[in-house]
Every structure is written in structure tokens, then in C-alpha cells.
Amino acid sequence: MRLFTLGDGSASEIVPLALEFERDLQGLVEANMPALLGVRFLASEYSTGPVHGGRIDSLGIDENGAPVVVEYKRGRDPGVITQGLFYLAWLTDHRAEFEVLVRDRLGVPAAAQVLWSAPRLICVAEDFTRYDRHAVGEIRRCIDLVRYRFFGSGLLGLEPVVTASARDRGRGAGSGRAGRMPKKQPPGGGIGELRDALDEVLVSLGEDVRRIERKQYRAYRRLRNIACVGRSHRSEVLVYLRADPKKVDLVPGFSRDVTGLGHHGTGDLEVRLRAENDLERAGDLLQLSYAAA
């Protein structure tokens, strides 16, 4: 990742700065966790007790209710993944304790919606080895490797390196897409076919797209949610996108700003799909949401 300032026909590179301490990186991320990682912050340096004998750098819960362990390394450290998995194993064995933490920080409704089918480990480091990148594809866990660069003057860069899910084993690091369906024919009419075609388009946006199943909706995410697709409507498919509704041309009956309005999942831009041409019209909005996630 290289960053430049442009002006007067010249380009000047902003050289990344070395963070002096790991806790500096941790503090930057924890203070801005929803925007940076799509995770609500719960606790810092969380003790796993005298028997387990460790401290989790950051604990959180993501946009879909999945528990999240975040581990940081100021430089490159091959032990960050194994350390994070050690804490992830502890977390899945202490579900009640985590749910109490969520209840105390975010309230009873959030605690009741914890998604234990896909707890996540996010590792944030200066870089990762090729062995790290390969290893996450062989482990049946949801793991995100995120490379950071600090440029000073309030500039922090985050670059997802590998996103793996519990179903990616054997596909190679970063190459699998969780639960991807076989390619389907374009929809010929039914809402079910339209929903399937939308699934194909969303999953095909990038190698790092993952599908998350919830009772009320299906989410598609990178580090953060790209789109949430409702399940309840039979006459249309409702899609909620991360794209900023204030930066797109809204079309009555097709797209609208739902900022502040309640709905399942995340996203402030609602798109209504009723036919194949609606999916084609939504293509640019899906791309914008992917880039924003």
C-alpha cells in the first residue's frame, strides 16, 4: 500500500510510520472499531481467567451478531494466528460469559441475537507471511487477516489480505467463498429465481465475499456487510446496501433512503427487486457497496 499527495503536477509519497508500541495500534482500532472493522467494541485486554491464563486484545460483536476476537501485532509475527485461535477456542467454551458481557454493554436484545455458528478471529498486523495466508485456508474457522499502514496525520490504512470461513478448508487461502452456490441460469420469472440470481451476483463481487445466514435475513460481507437480503417478502426481494443513499440518484419505487428506519440487518440504501431488469439496474449500487465494505 502506497499513499501519495498530488498537486502542481507532482506526486509526493507519504512514507508509512512505525508505531512504537502495539497498544498504539490497538487503541486506534478500538476507538474506531465499527467504522474500521464493522465490529461493536465490547472489552479490551479481556482476562480469560487463571486457568487459561491469557488476555484477549479486543472483544467485540460484528454487524450480524457473531462474536469477534481481535488480535494485533505491531510488526510481522507468525504467532498471531495461533494465539488468536487459542482465544477463539476459549470464547466458544465460555458462551454464557460472553453473552453476559454483551448484555451488560449492549443490552438484552443484543445478547439474545448472538450468532454462535460463525465466531470470528480478526488479526491486524503490519504484514503476514505466505505461510500465514495459506494456513487460514486450511483451518475451519472464520479468520480475517488485515494488513495496516500508519501514515501519521490521522491517516490509517487497512487492507484485507485473506478472508476465510469455516467452509473454506482445502480451497487455498483466500480462494474459497463460503457456501457458494453453483452458477444459475438468469431468472425467468419467480422471486425465488431472482433471489438466487442476486446471490450469484453478490458472491461473485470478490473472492473475499462471505455469506452469513440469519433467521430474518442473509448477509454478504467482507470485513463489513456489503448487503443484507430480507427473507419475508414473496412479491419482491428487499436488499439493504452499504452504499451511501445521499451519494446516489434515488429512483421512486426502486431505491430509497432508509437511514434511521428499522429493518433487519444493516444498510441505509433499500433496493426493491421485482424482475431481472431490476437486478441489472442495481449492478452499480452493488459494486459501490462492495467498495464501501
**pLDDT for 117-147, tens place per residue?**
989 999 999 999 999 999 898 888 999 999 9
Q: Is residue 147 part of a domain?
A: yes
User: In the prediction, which pLDDT does 216 show?
Assistant: 92
Among the listed residues 257, 220, 248, 254, the one whose alpha carbon sits nearest the alpha carbon of residue 236: 254
Checking if the pLDDT of 57 tops 50, the result is yes
Q: Which of 164, 180, 200 is the C-terminal boundary of a domain? A: 164
User: Is residue 170 pLDDT above 60, yes or no?
Assistant: no
Q: What is the pLDDT of residue 58?
A: 98
Q: Grid cell 497498544 — which residue?
A: 23
Q: Is 128 domain-assigned?
A: yes
The pLDDT confidence band at residue 169, using thresholds 50, 70 and 90, is: low
Q: Does residue 286 share a domain with residue 146?
A: no
Query: Which among 78, 79, 60 is positioned nearest to 120, based on CA atoms?
Result: 60
Place of cell 439474545: 112
Q: Sheet of 210-213: strands edge to edge?
A: 210-213, 217-221, 225-230, 237-241, 269-273, 255-257
Same domain (yes/no): 197, 149 = no
Mean of pLDDT values over 243-247: 95
Q: Is there a single domain that holds both residue 136 and residue 227? A: no
For the entire predicted model, the pTM comes to 0.84
- Paired with 70 in beta bridges are 58, 122
Domain around 72: 14-164
The mean-pLDDT minimum among 23-32, 73-82, 84-93, 165-174 falls in 165-174
Terminal-residue alpha carbon distance, the chain: 18
| Boundary residue ending a domain (164, 181, 214) | 164
Based on the fold, state whether residues 57 and 129 are members of the same structural domain: yes
Instruction: Write down the pLDDT at residue 8.
Output: 85
Claim to verify: residue 112 and residue 38 sit in the same structural domain: yes
Name the band, by pLDDT with cuts 50, 70 and 90, for residue 42. Answer: very high
Q: Could you tell me if residue 170 is inside a domain?
A: no
Residues 30, 77 within the same domain: yes
The string of pLDDT tens digits covering residues 203-212 is 999 989 999 9
Our count of domains for the chain comes to: 2
Confidence of residue 176 (pLDDT cuts 50, 70, 90): very low
Instruction: Provide the Cα torsion 221, 227, 230, 233; round to 10°.
Output: -150
Establish if 173 belongs to a structural domain: no
- The pLDDT assigned to 285 comes to 97
> For position 189, what pLDDT does the model report?
54
